[in-house]
């Protein structure tokens, strides 16, 4: 696979790989064909997280790859583990940081262990935490997170 730099390039590649069309995606996801065209062309940039999640779910691809180009485009094995094993796995593999924990939750979703609504909330939280400038202080105030979230919603 060639290097796919932009969200639009990855989306177009995934659509082709899954042998589907913008019309079919639009019909099933309720995302307009014009929006899909704009995402692919890059004229509007990447979509919001919830829209990206819909596209990744429909195309059965890794949303993190679609959003960032990092990792594998394919979703790992989707055989669900019993809940107690999934929770144990999460706790054993989680780092002490909030971002690490959230990323582990995102991995659980990729294995179909979390609902899309919760995943959307988790992804938004991860994005917000990444925008916090930790070079100045290691302590994040909840008001800072709310402010960053509000700025993002205005964009």
pTM (two decimals)? 0.50
Q: Which residue has the higher pLDDT, 146 or 72?
A: 72
> How does residue 138 score in pLDDT terms, banded at 50, 70 and 90?
very low
pLDDT surpassing 60 at residue 93: no
Share the mean pLDDT of the chain: 74
Domains of the chain: 7-68 (1.10.260.40), 83-154 (no CATH)
DSSP string computed for 82-144: PHHHHHHHHHHH--SSHHHHHHHHHHHHHTT-S-HHHHHHHHHHHHHHHHS-TTT-S---HHH
Compute the distance between CA of residue 119 and CA of residue 116 in angstroms, rounded to an integer. Answer: 5
């Amino acid at each position: 696979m060639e290097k796919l730099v932009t969200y639009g390039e990855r989306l177009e590649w995934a659509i082709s790989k899954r042998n589907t069309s913008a019309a079919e995606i639009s019909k099933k996801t309720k995302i307009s064909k014009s929006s899909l065209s704009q995402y692919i062309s890059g004229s509007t940039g990447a979509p919001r997280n919830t829209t990206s999640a819909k596209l990744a779910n429909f195309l059965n691809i890794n949303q993190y790859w679609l959003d960032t180009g990092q990792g594998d485009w394919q979703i790992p094995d989707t055989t669900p583990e019993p809940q107690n094993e999934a929770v144990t796995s999460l706790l054993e593999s989680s780092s002490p940081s909030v971002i690490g924990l959230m990323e582990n939750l995102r991995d659980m979703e990729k294995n179909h262990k979390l609902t899309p609504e919760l995943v959307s909330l988790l992804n938004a939280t991860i994005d917000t935490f990444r925008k916090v400038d930790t070079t100045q202080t290691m302590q994040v105030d909840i008001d800072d997170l709310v402010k960053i979230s509000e700025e993002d919603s205005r964009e």
